[in-house]
Amino acid sequence: MTAGERAGATPVLELVDVRKCFGDDVVLQGVSLTVPEHSVTVLIGASGSGKSTLLRCINQLERVDDGLILFDGQDVCDPRADVDDIRQRIGIVFQSFNLFPHMRVIDNITLALRKVHGVGKDEAEARALELLGRFSLADKAQQYPDRLSGGQQQRVAIVRALAVQPRLMLFDEVTSALDPVLVNEVLSAVRELRSEGMTMVIATHEMGFATQVADEVCFLAGGVIHERGTPEQVIDDPQDPDTREFLRRVREAGRL
């Protein structure tokens, strides 16, 4: 049981038996997930287990083949749903930062605020600067992305997604392109968001990080969630043999 279910409120995100195939390749076969408000769900699993695919389905970058994805109770897979409207309320940060290289940091952040949400230039920049300050990036506002380190770029990407005040944030291995020091920069940014009560779904290979931030950890393998529970249950005391095997290999690789 997670926090939201206890409270009985509508979860921010609910997946019911989500299925996704690429041709004959069934990547997700019946994934169900409940993400209550203010909770952090962490997806772990081997490379190719479908973590990115799941996040992309939530954000409608991929069309699911079956199942329901309810975002604030609304089925986002419904062909009549307004995809742009849904994406405006879901922030996503990718492994490759995908900053716009031809815009300064401040313009990267204010673009959607101004063009999609109609916020005025001054207000948008004020909001961006405030966010940049919180992520210790205030002095980088006028720089172009290629002048920043990887960790800084990734934090700018996070700020850019946050600027429009999304209801839900999706993080797809936001640290795998970074060295350990930069990893910490980014992870503490995510921890900061958690302390503010942001609802998040995070795919990661950083088990230590998962343990720190997760309310619920889900182990994804063979297209289904093999095991789920608190970090203490899943990472420290896994019951499922596949989960154990996976974590044993992660431990061998020294990532835990």
Partner 1 sequence: MTQTPSTGPAGSPAGPVWVPSEAELGRRRIRKAQDRRRALVAAVSSFVVIGGLVLVVGTSQGWPVVQETFFNVQYGWEILPLLLEAFRLNLVLWVIAAVAIGVLSMLLALTRTSTSAALAPLRFLATVYVDVFRGTPLLLVIYLIGFGIPALQLTDRPIPVVVLGTTAVIITYAAYVAEVIRSGILSVHPSQRAAARSLGLSQVQTLRYVVLPQALRRVVPPLLNDLVALLKDVGLISVLGVVEVIRQAQILTSKSFNFTPYVVASILFLVVTIPLTRLTDRVLERTIARQNAQGSA
Contacts to partner 1 by CB under 8 A:
14, 16-17, 19, 29-32, 34, 52, 56, 61, 65-68, 70, 75, 77-80, 94-96, 98, 172-173, 222-225
Output the six-digit token pair for 45: 């699993």
Show the beta-strand stretches assigned E in 132-183.
168-172
What is the spatial distance between Cα 113 and Cα 227, in angstroms, rounded to a whole number? 39
Q: In angstroms, what is the minimal distance from the CB of 226 to partner 1?
A: 9
- Is 49 a binding residue for ligand ATP by CB under 6 A? The answer is yes
> Which range binds ligand ATP by CB under 6 A, 3-11, 51-59, 71-79, 207-215?
51-59
Q: How far is the CB of 57 from Mg ion (least distance, A)?
A: 13
What distance in Å separates the CA atoms of residue 46 and residue 254, rounded to the nearest whole number? 15
What minimum distance in Å lies between the beta carbon of 198 and ligand ATP?
22
- Min dist. Cβ of residue 130 to partner 1 (A): 28
| Residue of 151, 141, 136 lying closest to 192 (CA atoms) | 136
Per-residue binder mask for ligand ATP (CB under 6 A), 148-187, x = binder: -------------------------x--------------
What does the block give as tokens for 147?
Answer: 């002048």
Q: Which of residues 26-55 bind Mg ion (CB under 5 A)?
A: 52
Helices 180-195 & 150-163 angle (0-180, nearest 10): 20
Cα distance between residue 41 and residue 61, in whole Å:
20
Residue in this structure with the two tokens 């699993």, named with its chain if needed:
45
Binding site for ligand ATP (CB under 6 A): 22, 25, 27, 45, 47-53, 173
